[in-house]
Amino acid sequence: MYSKAMFAKQFKELIDKRGLTQRAVAERINTTETTISRYVSGDRTPNIETAVELASVLGVTLDVLVGADLPAASRTPPDVNILVACYEKASIADRQVLWSLLDRYMTPEQRVIITSMQHEEKADVG
């Protein structure tokens, strides 16, 4: 069952796991750091639109964000979470190195997706 305290705990853990600050999360969803702090402390909970934005920023589904208990098979292994957190912090150049290392394990479809993402990242920077 959902509770404010459960949401607050899960939200804080997700922010910490991804190495983000409350300020960074606030900036990504165009709100104040105070609002994010209130979510973390359990004083407030976000509306559904904001929860969807938060889940997107944190790279999780809504059920994970609110701390819903999922079957063990659907939980992301810790090593995958670590990889994602490190990838999010990596520079574009470092991300390209990572993808070049993983290229041999990708399907052709996955390569197309990664190539497209890399072009978008370069366009955003350039």
The yes/no answer on whether domain 4-72 falls in CATH 3.40.190.10 is no
* Residues 40, 9 contacting (CB under 8 angstroms): no
pTM over 0.85: no
What 3 state SS string does 76-88 have? Answer: CCHHHHHHHHHHH
Weakly modelled stretches of the chain, pLDDT under 70: 1-2, 69-75, 126
The predicted pLDDT at position 70 comes to: 56
For the chain, give every domain's residue range. Answer: 4-72, 90-125
Concatenating the DSSP letter of every residue in the chain gives ---HHHHHHHHHHHHHHTT--HHHHHHHTT--HHHHHHHHHTS----HHHHHHHHHHHT--HHHHTTPPPPGGGSPPHHHHHHHHHHHHS-HHHHHHHHHHHGGG--HHHHHHHHHHHHHHHHHH-
